[in-house]
Amino acid sequence: MKKTATSKFRLLPYQAFAKHWLRPAMLFVIVGVAFWWFISRPEGEHILVGPVLTGVGALITLYTLLAKRAHVSCRASNFVIQTPLYPVAFSYRRVEIIRPVKFSSIFSPVDEKNARRRFYQDIWGKTAVVVVLQSYPLPLWWLKLWFHPYLLHPKETALVFLVDDWMALSRGFETRRTLPRNARRQR
């Protein structure tokens, strides 16, 4: 990973979503175009099936491509969660505790539906970084609308970050969170 002033860590639940849905979404587009081109007739009752399939496939394809870019980035004064459609910034002042936790201890695969368990089978054994917050910067219902369900802790006011390099993310959070405190102490 390239080291820059802003460290970006890809969010694995979004990566798994994109991995599993990109090909079917593109297939939707191809089938929709084929249906539109070969089967539908201007006077027929199936005239809207092709454009609808193509449109739905195109929207899902676009969302999966944006989901591949979903990440959390550590900046000097805040950290930003970039979801496929909506970025949210969190101040380090809101952070109470940062701790590593096994992902399956928060979201148990046994409690998940069979389809979701298979869908995310690559991430259950990984370590996540849990960031306990004093409060959310936006209402919880709004965050649930835009965030993946695995980003919000089900029992605490906390965020769950499942990334490839959880140690670097945890270190980035701690370093940037303590910088303002150390600067105030030196004055």
Predicted confidence (pLDDT) at residue 180 exceeds the cutoff of 50: yes
pLDDT tens digit sequence for 60-81: 999 999 999 999 999 988 999 9
> Quick one: average pLDDT of 20-47?
78
Contact 63, 84 (CB under 8 A): yes
Query: Rounded to whole angstroms, how far apart are CA atoms 84 and 63?
Result: 7
Q: What is the pLDDT of residue 2?
A: 45
Contact 74, 176 (CB under 8 A): yes
pLDDT tens digit sequence for 90-132: 999 999 999 999 999 999 888 888 877 777 888 888 999 999 9
Query: Rounded to whole angstroms, how far apart are CA atoms 187 and 170?
Result: 27
Query: Rounded to whole angstroms, how far apart are CA atoms 111 and 103?
Result: 13
Query: Rounded to whole angstroms, how far apart are CA atoms 10 and 82?
Result: 9
Query: Rounded to whole angstroms, how far apart are CA atoms 174 and 185?
Result: 17
Q: What is the pLDDT of residue 132?
A: 96
| pLDDT-wise least confident of 58-72, 77-91, 168-182 | 168-182
Query: Rounded to whole angstroms, how far apart are CA atoms 2 and 74?
Result: 14
Contact 151, 129 (CB under 8 A): no
Write down the pTM of the prediction.
0.81
Give me the residue spans of the domains in the chain.
92-186
Predicted confidence (pLDDT) at residue 186 exceeds the cutoff of 60: no
pLDDT tens digit sequence for 36-55: 777 756 666 667 777 888 88
Contact 134, 43 (CB under 8 A): no
